[in-house]
Structure 1
Amino acid sequence: MAITSANQLELLQTAEAVAREKMIDPDLVIQAMEDSLARAAKSRYGSEMDIRVSIDRKTGRATFTRVRTVVADEELENYQAQLTVDQAKQYKSDPQIGDEIVDEVPPVDLGRIAAQSAKQVILQRVREAERDRQFEEFKDRKGTIINGVVKREEYGNIIVDVGRGEAILRRNEKIGRESYRPNDRIRAYVKDVRREARGPQIFLSRTDPQFMAELFKMEVPEIYDGIIEIKAVARDPGSRAKIAVISHDNSIDPVGACVGMRGSRVQAVVGELQGEKIDIIPWNPDQATFLVNALQPAEVSKVVVDEDAGKIEVVVPDEQLSLAIGRRGQNVRLASQLTGLDIDILTEAEESARRQAEFAERTKLFVDALDLDEFFAQLLVSEGFTNLEEVAYVDVDELLAIEGVDEDTAHELQARARDHIEAENNRAIAAAKELGVEQSLFDFEGLTPQMIEALAKDDVKTLEDFATCADWELAGGWTTVEGKRVKDEGILEKFGMSLEDAQNLIMHARVQLGWVDPSELEPAEEETEEADEE
């Protein structure tokens, strides 16, 4: 196949036809043709030659040129692509090192194999251009809703035609048991767009919480305009969802605007989500108030926030317990996702029983440790004392504020508390040593003798053992097993150890052992200081 005047214009027509079909720039197709012809010419003239092809964009004429670079005599290695200064004088009057000498070579007559190779190069370049176009088109649509037509189903995954490309709706991204047939119209959320070797991959979702948020944005003009803001979304796809909204205009009710006249707006979203029930909740900057709203329709009697432990307890009337928890824990689970809080729900009876148990336990502690009568011990507990350390090291004036306590009694109480603490410490140290604890763990700051004894019972006997612990092993936590939250008891949890405290202790142990560079801790400590200042 020689490139003659008869088929020069055909090159341009072919390029335009391919570009139109693939919806890419015609110039990209012509560049692919130039590269393919250059490769074919190299196979004809020699692979060491630098052959370049230029196709005139108006006439379609292909020009074949050989390019050689001027080099110093001692650097001449490739006679086909390089030449010396003296050799270059035949083509240029004053050649300099680095100049390129370009001369035209006769067009090649493409054989069957060369023509096939050229065709493959063109197809490859066109495919790459098409993939780049698709990626550029869809990468900015990530996080939006897209409409498409179902093409086929593969192993439970739905392949969707989205216009200029294909997207995939995975089996686990579909709502419940919904099924689709070819040519069904579908609306989904563009969860991710990735550039991969086989082309851009567009991943859709109908279960993502943001799918519901985007649907509300389409149905509620106030959200689209930014007057109402969606602060949080939690979903149990196909079953129930909660969405928290706030209005930046005091004259507009965020919940009412999202519900719409006679529920028209929310019903449009519910219909798209296969009947998923939606609770629209007013967002509140106050954590406790927001949590009470999130647990609707259940009524909440009291909210107890434990900031040190990072937990929150909700007390509800006995008859409201099942409503607050929801079917299979759905209501409390969604409320937890919406607020980002770890929620424990108690009935009023349970909370009362627990408080009574705590009161009795603390009373017994003071009776046994301080050799007090029950009435006096109950008086201490009623005044807010929870442990011996508080009694031993509190300012004397706080003890004197208790009715019936004089200065001698206060000093005697503190002396008894300190003696008992010291005796307990000595007992714990002896027990830990008997269990084989090394001195390195005793010398480490931040651990009490009782903590060291508890660690020893769990086979943590050296500073190295302690440094290899995970924070949740010390402070405890929660694990989700088969959809249920399971409590992991921490070795030091009973001593009030928080996850943050555990992380700091473990990291300082690693620094002390030389496992971690102390400079790595500085940014984290600075951030903590800034947070405290705020």
Structure 2
Amino acid sequence: MAITSANQLELLQTAEAVAREKMIDPGLVIEAMEESLARAAKSRYGAEMDIRVAIDRKTGRATFTRVRTVVAEEELENYQAEFTVEQAKQYMADPEIGATFSEEVPPVEMGRIAAQSAKQVILQKIREAERDRQFEEFQDRAGTIINGVVKREEYGNVIVDVGRGEGILRRNEKIGRESYRPNDRIRCYIKDVRREARGPQIFLSRTAPEFMAELFKMEVPEIYDNIIEIKAVARDPGSRAKIAVISHDGSIDPVGACVGMRGSRVQAVVNELQGEKIDIIPWKEDQPTFLVNALQPAEVTKVVLDEEAGKIEVVVPDDQLSLAIGRRGQNVRLASQLTNLDIDIMTEEEESKRRQAEFEIRTKLFMEALDVDEFFAQLLVAEGFTNLEEVAYVEVDELLGIDGVDEDTAGELQTRAREFLEAKAAAALAKARELGAEDSLITFEGITPQMAEVLAEDGVKTLEDFATCADWELAGGWTTVDGERVKDDGLLEQFGMELEEAQTMIMTARVLLGWVDPAELEADAEDDAETTEEAEV
């Protein structure tokens, strides 16, 4: 089929028809036609020519134009699309480099091959426009629930028709062993939308915690209206889940609102999730209290929180241990995900044994270091003293508060404690030097002889070595691996080194070595302060 200047009035009608069918902008179809006509013209006039086509959006008339660009004489390469300033003077009054000269050329008729090529260009452009439209549409819907129809199943992955596109529900995103047949209705959560060469990829999920949150949002009007807020969700898909909610209206019970009359609201969510049991928990700002709620239905006797390590110890009655842990650790695992804390559960008997062991260790330490009898060492531990530093440098009045301790006894205790610590420090210092630790590290502010010994044993022997360390290498930290938090031990963690302190010491070492400009540090600190103030405002 040949498209000539005589029938180009039909281009607008064709473009509009295609745009309506594909639900894209008619202008994109016309641009594709312009490009295809330009290619056909180049095959007629020469591939090196810069031929451009403009279709009038009102009349449909196609104008073929040859464009030439003014370039410097030494840069002239393409004689068909470029010319020098001297050559351009024949066509332009005052030519400048970079200026263009356009002249209309006769339109061309498309032969069969040219028409087929033009058709391919137009189809390619339309496909690209469709993909862009689909990506923009579904990108805006990411994080929401979508209803679809199952088209087919490939290697365990379900392909879902979601209207103007296809989504993929991967095997690991399905609940349990649920299976689907073609034309089954399915409800999924749009987890991610990616732009790829083969078109937008829509990844669906039924196991994501957000899927449950969105289902409750659909079933509970108070959540949709932001009267009740979902603070956290933890799921073992298809088996059990915990969801923490809080009400911003004191007159509304968040748990009762989510459960609904006779459990109607929560039951609707349970049915959608293949019978997944759901514990609805009131969220609390106080983490220990929140954890007690999260471990329901188990009873908790005591909670000890270590905020720095993000770890929490929970003591439960002996007969509640299995209930607190749950089948295959399910209950404590979900509670840990919900609170974002590492939970260590022990019985009252286990806690008692642990405390007794700690008591005996501290008693033995005081007996050996202070040369006192067992009764007096136990008395110190019972009064709350945990290490020799506390005995050596505590206010004398605190020692005098112990029954049977006078000023002479208190002074003697502190003298013995200090002498023991000094001897221990001297031994550590000698060991550090023996291992090769240099004075630049040993005399660095904040480094004790014991720290220098530990660092030297690990190969950190100079201030330069110390300055190359990461803060977590010194103070320790936590890393999430496969959804579980793993402890990273720090070299100086045993000495009470905290992350912020490690950062300060490392940066100070870098400044002393001239690696970092102090002025830049101050500027960065001011910027951080301004950013914090703006965030607070």
Would the TM-score normalized by the shorter structure come out above 0.5? yes
What is the TM-score with the length of structure 1 in the denominator? 0.88
Alignment of 1:227-246 (within 5 A): 227-246=227-246
Q: Which whole-Å deviations, capped at 9, do the CAs of 1:39-97 have from their partners, x for residues lacking one?
A: 211221123433222234454332222334577999877654456889878878x6665
The 3-state SS of whatever aligns with 2:345 is strand
Q: Which whole-Å deviations, capped at 9, do the CAs of 1:330-386 have from their partners, x for residues lacking one?
A: 211111111112221121111112222222221221111111222222222222111
> 2:157 matched to 1:157?
yes
Aligned to 2:144: 144
- CA deviation after TM superposition for structure 1 residue 408, in Å: 2.2
> Does structure 1 conserve the Cα–Cα contact (< 8 Å) formed by 2:4 and 2:110?
no
Aligned to 2:105: 105
- CA deviation after TM superposition for structure 1 residue 441, in Å: 3.6
Give the aligned residue type for 1:406.
Answer: D
Bigger mean CA offset, 502-511 vs 378-387: 502-511
CA distance in 2, matches of 1:524, 1:5: 68
The 3-state SS of whatever aligns with 1:140 is helix
Bigger mean CA offset, 510-519 vs 222-231: 510-519
- CA deviation after TM superposition for structure 1 residue 469, in Å: 5.4
CA distance in 2, matches of 1:87, 1:529: 60
Alignment of 1:175-194 (within 5 A): 175-194=175-194
Aligned to 1:21: 21
CA distance in 2, matches of 1:300, 1:529: 44
What is the TM-score with the length of structure 2 in the denominator? 0.88
Give the aligned residue type for 2:148.
Answer: G
- Alpha-carbon spacing, 1:72–1:173, altered in 2? closer, same or farther (3 Å): closer
Aligned to 2:450: 450
- CA deviation after TM superposition for structure 1 residue 18, in Å: 2.3
Give the aligned residue type for 1:138.
Answer: F
> Does structure 1 conserve the Cα–Cα contact (< 8 Å) formed by 2:260 and 2:266?
yes
Q: Which whole-Å deviations, capped at 9, do the CAs of 1:435-490 have from their partners, x for residues lacking one?
A: 44444442333333223334444555455555565656555566788888776655
Aligned to 2:316: 316
- CA deviation after TM superposition for structure 1 residue 109, in Å: 2.3
Q: Which whole-Å deviations, capped at 9, do the CAs of 1:225-283 have from their partners, x for residues lacking one?
A: 01000111111112211111000111110000001111111111111111111111001
- CA deviation after TM superposition for structure 1 residue 313, in Å: 1.3
> Does structure 1 conserve the Cα–Cα contact (< 8 Å) formed by 2:36 and 2:121?
yes
CA distance in 2, matches of 1:422, 1:435: 20
- CA deviation after TM superposition for structure 1 residue 194, in Å: 1.8
Aligned to 2:352: 352
| Identical pairs, percent | 82
Aligned to 1:62: 62
> Does structure 1 conserve the Cα–Cα contact (< 8 Å) formed by 2:4 and 2:108?
no
Give the aligned residue type for 1:61.
Answer: R
CA distance in 1, matches of 2:48, 2:531: 64
Bigger mean CA offset, 216-225 vs 391-400: 391-400
Bigger mean CA offset, 400-409 vs 94-103: 94-103
CA distance in 2, matches of 1:286, 1:161: 45
CA distance in 1, matches of 2:430, 2:127: 76
Unaligned stretches of 5+ residues in structure 2 = none
- CA deviation after TM superposition for structure 1 residue 327, in Å: 1.6
For the aligned residue pairs, the C-alpha RMSD in angstroms reads 3.3
> Does structure 2 conserve the Cα–Cα contact (< 8 Å) formed by 1:437 and 1:461?
yes
The 3-state SS of whatever aligns with 1:262 is helix
Give the aligned residue type for 1:21.
Answer: E
Unaligned stretches of 5+ residues in structure 1 = none
Alignment of 1:317-466 (within 5 A): 317-458=317-458, 460-463=460-463, 466=466
- Alpha-carbon spacing, 1:479–1:6, altered in 2? closer, same or farther (3 Å): closer
CA distance in 2, matches of 1:174, 1:327: 22
CA distance in 2, matches of 1:338, 1:282: 12
Aligned to 1:219: 219
CA distance in 2, matches of 1:74, 1:454: 69
> Does structure 2 conserve the Cα–Cα contact (< 8 Å) formed by 1:68 and 1:82?
yes
Number of residue equivalences: 531
CA distance in 2, matches of 1:287, 1:5: 77
Bigger mean CA offset, 51-60 vs 123-132: 51-60
Bigger mean CA offset, 327-336 vs 479-488: 479-488
- Alpha-carbon spacing, 1:80–1:529, altered in 2? closer, same or farther (3 Å): closer
